[in-house]
């Protein structure tokens, strides 16, 4: 019997070495895929925060309110200030609430205009004011300087001053720095205390997160949610008010201002100066404020030496829109004794 040589075929992938290598190769592929995915996500986030700009859809909006009351402009090196004006008498200046426009005082313009010359002004980064100073800092020094620049531009040496939310803090800081220019001060659910904001607002201080959050919050449905969250009487958030509120929130300067202000406004010096702030002050607050809790009103009243406190039940963070009738009564009575000069 003859012996024939046999050929033994060995499949390479059946070797012990090859079997052990498959999981290792899969793991390396998975790691590469994860690394590439992370790079893409980070790149997308950075582009969204620093490259992409949402459309300024609000530029096409034609405000029925401004068509009715008439926009005015005051040019300064800082900005072309947008404002509305009504009435005659001693001057009262209402600073547009932070993040909105002159619409925020729509129910007070004529009511206070019966006895006063009333100015409602959009400060830089708010409403329809156009920023000229591209190095504008959006901090407390810059915002208080803007108040003075506007007063100088319209020829008002001394006035009563009022603000809501951020603009209340700006009004307070201006009165502390220029007490000779402010006859009376009304703080409506105002900032100005060295206390943290809500988690949503605090998140804007985080780079990338803040930029993206503000840019993605300019849709009408989001703005409606914000407005209704600030107000108790939600029936007052009409479609017309929503349009007026939303339009300037889409402007690129205003978007940028929102996250920069949240990061740069330092209220510690403002709170420290409260005991030395002698300007007669009305602290007017919505009891149901979910952004600046009502306990802060009591803290203002305790620290300000010449303050009167009024708490409005059934009102939220923007009481002048939420509860216009009681707000008007309190402001009219408080400003009746103001003696600002033009």
State the distance between the two ends of the chain, measured CA to CA, in whole angstroms.
129
> What integer pLDDT is reported at residue 174 of this predicted model?
98
- Rounded distance between C-alpha atoms, residue 27 and residue 29, angstroms: 5
> What integer pLDDT is reported at residue 38 of this predicted model?
78
Strands (E), 138-249: 159-164, 182-188
Return per-residue pLDDT of the chain as tens, 342 residues.
444 545 444 444 444 455 557 778 888 888 888 777 777 777 777 767 777 788 899 999 999 999 999 999 999 999 999 999 999 999 999 999 988 999 999 999 999 999 999 999 999 999 999 999 999 999 999 999 999 999 999 999 999 999 999 999 999 999 999 999 999 999 999 999 999 999 988 998 899 898 899 998 899 999 999 999 999 999 999 999 999 999 999 999 999 999 999 999 999 999 999 999 999 999 999 999 999 999 999 999 999 999 999 999 999 999 999 999 999 999 999 999 766 555
CA distances to 70, 74, 243, 259 from 64, in Å = 10, 21, 10, 29
Domains of the chain by residue range:
61-335
CA distances to 32, 40, 53, 216 from 47, in Å = 22, 10, 10, 13
- Rounded distance between C-alpha atoms, residue 156 and residue 151, angstroms: 5
CA distances to 77, 124, 131, 185, 239 from 135, in Å = 11, 12, 10, 29, 36
CA distances to 3, 53, 102 from 50, in Å = 79, 8, 29
Which among 178, 93, 142 is positioned nearest to 265, based on CA atoms?
Answer: 142
> What integer pLDDT is reported at residue 15 of this predicted model?
47
What are the φ and ψ backbone dihedral angles of 265, each rounded to 5 degrees? -75, 115
Instruction: List CB contacts of 167: < 8 A, sequence separation 6 or more.
Output: 95, 96, 97, 98, 123, 126, 190
Could you tell me the pTM of the whole model? Answer: 0.89
Strands 90-95 and 130-131: unpaired
- Rounded distance between C-alpha atoms, residue 156 and residue 187, angstroms: 20
Strands 79-86 and 116-122: antiparallel
- Rounded distance between C-alpha atoms, residue 192 and residue 199, angstroms: 18
CA contacts within 13 A on the Cβ side of 218: 23
Instruction: List CB contacts of 95: < 8 A, sequence separation 6 or more.
Output: 121, 123, 147, 161, 162, 163, 164, 167, 168, 170, 171
- Rounded distance between C-alpha atoms, residue 94 and residue 104, angstroms: 9
What are the φ and ψ backbone dihedral angles of 74, each rounded to 5 degrees? -125, 120
Strands (E), 176-318: 182-188, 281-286, 307-312
Architecture of domain 61-335: 3-Layer(aba) Sandwich (3.40)
Contact 157/342 with Cβ under 8 angstroms?
yes
């Amino acid at each position: 019997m003859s012996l024939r040589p046999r050929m033994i075929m060995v499949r390479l992938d059946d070797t012990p070495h090859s079997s052990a290598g498959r999981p290792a190769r899969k793991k390396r592929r998975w790691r590469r895929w994860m690394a590439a995915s992370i790079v893409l996500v980070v790149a997308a986030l950075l582009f969204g925060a620093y490259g992409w700009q949402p459309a300024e859809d609000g530029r096409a909006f034609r405000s029925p309110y401004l068509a009715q009351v008439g926009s005015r402009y005051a040019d300064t090196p800082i900005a072309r200030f947008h404002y509305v004006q009504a009435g005659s008498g001693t001057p009262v200046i209402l600073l547009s609430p932070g993040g909105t426009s002159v619409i925020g005082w729509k129910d007070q313009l004529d009511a206070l205009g019966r006895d006063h010359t009333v100015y409602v002004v959009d400060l830089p980064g708010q409403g329809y004011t156009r920023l000229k100073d591209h190095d504008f800092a959006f901090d407390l020094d810059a915002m208080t300087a803007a108040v003075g620049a506007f007063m100088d531009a319209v020829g008002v040496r001394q006035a009563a001053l009022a603000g809501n939310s951020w603009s209340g803090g700006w009004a307070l800081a201006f009165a502390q720095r220029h007490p000779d220019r402010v006859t009376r001060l009304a703080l409506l659910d105002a900032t100005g205390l060295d206390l943290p904001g809500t988690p949503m607002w605090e998140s804007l201080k985080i780079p990338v997160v803040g930029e993206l959050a503000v840019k993605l919050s300019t849709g009408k449905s989001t703005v409606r949610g914000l407005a209704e969250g600030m107000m108790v009487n939600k029936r007052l958030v009409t479609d017309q008010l929503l349009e007026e509120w939303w339009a300037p929130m889409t402007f690129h300067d205003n978007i940028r201002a929102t996250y920069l202000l949240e990061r740069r406004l330092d209220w510690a010096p403002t709170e420290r100066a409260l005991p030395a702030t002698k300007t007669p002050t009305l602290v007017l607050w919505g009891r149901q404020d979910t952004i600046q809790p009502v306990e802060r009103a009591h803290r203002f009243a305790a620290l300000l030496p010449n303050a009167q406190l009024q708490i409005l039940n059934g009102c939220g963070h923007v009481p002048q829109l939420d509860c216009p009738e009681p707000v008007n009564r309190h402001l009219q009575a408080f400003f009746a004794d103001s003696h600002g000069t033009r």
